[in-house]
Amino acid sequence: MAFNNTRFANFAKYDLTINKTFYTSISLVTLIGTMAISFISFTGRYSMWKAVVESPWYEGGSMSPLAAEHYNTMHATCSWILGFLCIMMCIFAGCWAHNLRDKQGRITELTLPATNLEKFTWHSLLMIGGGFLTCLASLLAADLLNAGLTACFCGLEDGIASITAGVGKTLSIYGILQDQANSIGIHMDGMDTDIDNILPEAGVNFFCSLGCFAVCSFIMQVAFYMFGNAVKYKYNIIFTYIATQIIGFIVGIGSIIIFATNADLLMNNAMGTLLEGDEAESATQFFTNIATGLYIASPLIIILAGIFVWLSYRLYTKAQITSALNK
């Protein structure tokens, strides 16, 4: 049966009407949690700001570049928010088939006048696409809260750090390195703060590839939670989390073995900047090989994520009222 837009819209309207409490609740948890992290973070940075302006060395003007740099550092806040939003995205993905969590829900879902493709597409768009938009809106709301609190309690003289921009830098990893380089430049006048000059090309390439791999891995993890919900309808998030920890442990052990075989090279200098001659060339080649491997693995991970989504659809089309895993 072909995909019908009218039938798809009717199913979407029905689902939103019946499950609006569930969708509202999970969205509010995302919003409130993100804004709570922003507020708690601001209270800590406000205490730092107040300590500076009340010190005998502060003359009522702007903060010194060093104090302002520390006050506006948002890496910890952005890491907490990013971690929370990643958890929420996994929860969103793990709830796409929440209509099937009980027997009556499965009866209703499987007998509704819409094709499996139409129903699966709606659930995927709502929980993955809608979940992402909810996380983005929560991030912007937290950024707005931080800006408002900063303007009201600290003024605008020392600037307002952006949480959204900080999350982007945290995702890239490379952006954090650039901020750290700038911090060094603040501590020591005249010092080069261009990360491309501080680290050799192999080091920059390695961190960029690591950021790319991390983003692709997260996409795959979201797809894996989606697959987990297709396998088991109740308590699936817990079981999927256990599975990811087991897989992560195995991968971690493999990574330790790989790096342990190059321990001497890494202990001397991870980026090869203090090595000379053949040692420097070996260190550069080692990290170049690692970066190349990560760049190759990233699209493969995206393909694996696509396989998990396809398997989720296949399992959804075979859903039954009662099965061994879902009674």
Q: Is 163 left (phi over 0), alpha (psi -120 to 50) or beta?
A: alpha
- pLDDT tens digit at each of 327 positions of the chain: 678 889 999 999 999 999 999 999 999 999 999 999 999 988 887 777 777 666 655 555 555 544 555 555 677 788 899 899 999 999 999 999 998 888 888 888 888 888 999 999 999 999 999 999 999 999 999 999 988 888 887 777 666 778 888 787 777 665 555 555 454 444 444 444 444 444 556 667 777 788 888 889 999 999 999 999 999 988 999 999 999 999 888 887 877 776 666 555 554 544 444 444 555 566 667 777 788 888 999 999 999 999 999 999 999 998 888 777 776
Contacts of 225 (CB under 8 A, 6+ apart): 90, 91, 93, 94, 236, 237, 240
The Cα–Cα gap between 55 and 208 comes to: 41
The Cα–Cα gap between 229 and 241 comes to: 11
Q: What SS3 class is residue 138? A: helix
CA angle, residues 243, 248, 253, in degrees to nearest 5: 135
Question: In b/e form, how buried is each residue of 268-277, taking b as 16+ CB within 10 angstroms?
Answer: eebbbeebee
- The continuous run of DSSP H or E covering 156 comes out as none
Contacts of 163 (CB under 8 A, 6+ apart): 38, 74, 77, 78, 81, 139, 142, 143, 146
Query: What is the chain's Cα-based Rg?
Result: 25
Which pLDDT score is estimated for 50?
74
Which pLDDT score is estimated for 265?
54
pTM of the model: 0.82
The Cα–Cα gap between 327 and 317 comes to: 17
The Cα–Cα gap between 317 and 96 comes to: 14
Question: In b/e form, how buried is each residue of 142-167, taking b as 16+ CB within 10 angstroms?
Answer: bbebbbebbeeebeeebebbbbbebb
Which pLDDT score is estimated for 112?
86
Q: End-to-end distance of the chain based on CA atoms, in angstroms?
A: 29
Which pLDDT score is estimated for 52?
67
Instruction: Domain ranges for the chain, please list them.
Output: 1-193, 199-327
Structure tokens that stand for 322 in this block? 């009662």
CA angle, residues 189, 170, 94, in degrees to nearest 5: 170
The Cα–Cα gap between 64 and 14 comes to: 58
Q: Are 126 and 95 in contact (CB under 8 A)?
A: no
Which pLDDT score is estimated for 179?
54
